[in-house]
Amino acid sequence: MRCLLYLLALTPIIANAIEFSQSGFVGAETRGFAEDGQFPDQFDGLQTALILQPEFTWVAGGGDDQYSFIPFGHLDSQDSRRTHADIREAYWRHVSGPWEFLVGVNRVFWGVAESRHLVDIINQTDLVEDIDGEDKLGQPMFKLSSQRDWGTLDLYLMPWFGSRPIPANMAVCAFL
DSSP symbols for 106-149: E-----TTSSS-TT--SSPB-TTT-TTS--B--EEEEEEEEEET
The pLDDT mean for the chain works out to: 79
- Whether pLDDT at 48 is above 80: yes
Q: Which is more confident, 126 or 71?
A: 71
Which stretch, 79-83, 162-166, 170-174, has highest mean pLDDT? 79-83
- Whether pLDDT at 50 is above 50: yes
pLDDT at position 128:
74
From the number of C-beta atoms within 10 Å of its C-beta (0-12, 13-18, 19+), residue 120 rates as middle
Mean pLDDT on 142-152:
92
- 109 confidence band (pLDDT: 50, 70, 90): confident
